[in-house]
Structure 1
């Protein structure tokens, strides 16, 4: 019997990217500080300093290896999911960040094998039963394709959550039980 496939995003789903990028932005550009609560969109129009580009904000060497875990439950819950389901980590990545992301994953979740680590921006093109993600650009097409989704809420997905009423997961405590329930529901 085939195990259900759970696609799990990395950035701002199992670890905190935007908060760490803001931290570095505010050190480098103290006259143009950013706040997580004001990050209402994934594009980089929110960057206030002219030298703070998308590449600077998300491309600092070593950034992806220093990210904090999403919460104190994420590793334990991911391990439970890994034992019960076919868990694949699907993360958007520039070529320069792939190794950093893999290193982070191996440091925190070494039970995820290499063959279950993929870089992909258009995740809805993949075959999975449920996706856990923070990006509306992944959640909306997945729902439209008839797949189950679980949204990690952040300021940049407020509008999409209001429009699509995604199931939301605020934190990773009891995530496996929540996912078991979602998968048990008929599509």
Structure 2
């Protein structure tokens, strides 16, 4: 379906206009790549920070991005919800990254077919998801298998595992009736479910 839209949108496009669109698309693609990598890194940091703080009995103080924090109960109970949102944002940015890649590949193959695989070198990094990304001379099947493993790990296994564990730890420490813990748990679950649903729908419409 996406290929049909791309073909329709580029119908009658001149090579000069295509060059301008490719340049603008590359800039948008780079910004999307930065946003996606930032969301993934922040998600991993937030999950690790929660594990550190929830199990600590000391009054820890730390700085992050120049800001000072202390190991407060409010921070502990808020981190799962923050992690859930970061997961959702990373999925949205990852789907946008793939859309940019598909549009770039289509334009490149249509208007610059003689340059072939050089397009691979012009793609921005997809961070941890670049493991398995095909480069010049590499096995395409091996790369696709590695990407499937990474996608399942980061998009399904890790968020579900953290969501379940953080919910258990919050309930175990603060009880079922703590309003902030319940709100954080619900938001975490909602963000994870919506992230997975968004990713599923986006890939289904390929």
Confirm or deny a common fold (TM above 0.5). Answer: no
Bigger CA radius of gyration: 2
Higher helix share: 2
State the TM bucket, normalised to the shorter chain. under 0.3
Higher strand share: 1
